[in-house]
Chains A and B, each alone.
Chain A
Amino acid sequence: MKIGVVRFPGSSCEVDCLEAWRLVGEDPVMIWHQETSVKGFDLIVLPGGFSYGNYLRPGSIARYSPIMEDVIRFAKSGGLVWGISNGFQILTECGLLPGAFLRNVGLRYICAPQYLRVENSDLPFTNQYEKGRLIQIPISHGEGNYTIDDEGLKRLQDNNQIVFRYVNTDTSGNPNGSRDNIAGIVNKEGNVLGMMPHPERAVEEIIGGVDGKEMFLSVLKHWEGRSQGGA
């Protein structure tokens, strides 16, 4: 599978994403934000970090990086796009996903382990989980408070676009005030995923857990199925 991880100025999780893909046997490529084409790629990852310092609004400037025009085209033609944390913020800023982000309700940055419930396991990104499973994936953000209007929320709910919700197993629950406890969503077509938690930080026991690894395996599984299907 040809996987590209976009590096914007100020990205900081791009190498972590590369390493996570290597761990499952892939050979991903870093794409500099000034490039203009994602031709030939099967998956584009928009990593976490502070693109352009997150100045103005997180993701607002990165969204106009040269590479994004082609990423948007790629997504609209059905290509797999996976935005993590700052990548999710970029995806809402450029309109590939609905909603927007506000500062966490507590007004503080939060880096902590977090429980999520897998709400949709029929996706290229989640087919290795059972629906309803609780997984632990860390969050690390200051502006992860997902907001969307009533209509938009209803559409997400009706179309089964909510992929992960924050849940409470001991203390945490909804850490940032996100509407409807939303931690991750997909577009209607299911090929563009945005999530605030960091699955690339949950792929090895030694760094604190492996619950995120199935996401990477899910994408590979989906890809195998597709290739064998001759698509």
Chain B
Amino acid sequence: MLKARVKVTLKKSILDPQGSAAEKALKSMQYPVESVRIGKFMEVVLNEDDKDKAEKIMHEICQKLLSNPVIEDYSFELEG
């Protein structure tokens, strides 16, 4: 079994309403914050031991379901 740690973030060009709200709050609390972007973190455990195959499956999963390529980017790391 392999575990994939997936990060899904909004594309840079997309306005992030949640991130903007958090950014505003932190700034009003006087923290030296430049910007905040909020994304998602997911863990996927695969019934697959071959790293190359797993990588291919993960790309497919991310493109099909876990992210929406219209507004989001994804990245993942595999670990054993």
Q: Per the CB under 8 Å rule, do A and B touch in the complex? A: yes
Q: A61-B65, A99-B70, A102-B15 are in contact. List 5 more A-B contacts (CB 8 A).
A: A56-B66, A57-B68, A60-B65, A107-B17, A148-B70
Q: Does A187 contact B (CB under 8 A)?
A: no
Complex: chain B residue closest to A98, CB-CB: B70
Within 26-80 of B, Cβ neighbours of A (below 8 Å) are at 64-66, 68, 70-71
Q: What B residues does A100 contact at CB under 8 A?
A: 68, 70-71
**How many Cβ-Cβ contacts under 8 Å join chain A to chain B?**
37
Q: How many residues of A contact B (CB 8 A)?
A: 21
Q: Does A14 contact B (CB under 8 A)?
A: no
Q: Does A136 contact B (CB under 8 A)?
A: no
Given contacts A147-B14, A149-B13, contact A107 B21 (CB under 8 A): yes
Within 109-148 of A, Cβ neighbours of B (below 8 Å) are at 145, 147-148
Q: How many residues of B contact A (CB 8 A)?
A: 14
Is B14 touching A102 in the complex (CB atoms < 8 A)?
yes
What's the minimum C-beta distance from A203 to chain B, rounded to whole angstroms?
32
Is B15 touching A93 in the complex (CB atoms < 8 A)?
no
Complex: chain A residue closest to B13, CB-CB: A149
Q: What A residues does B66 contact at CB under 8 A?
A: 56
Is A177 touching B68 in the complex (CB atoms < 8 A)?
no
Partner of A103, one of B13, B18, B64, B68: B18
Within 20-67 of A, Cβ neighbours of B (below 8 Å) are at 56-57, 60-61, 64
Q: Does A181 contact B (CB under 8 A)?
A: no
Complex: chain B residue closest to A148, CB-CB: B70
Q: Does A105 contact B (CB under 8 A)?
A: yes
Complex: chain B residue closest to A64, CB-CB: B65
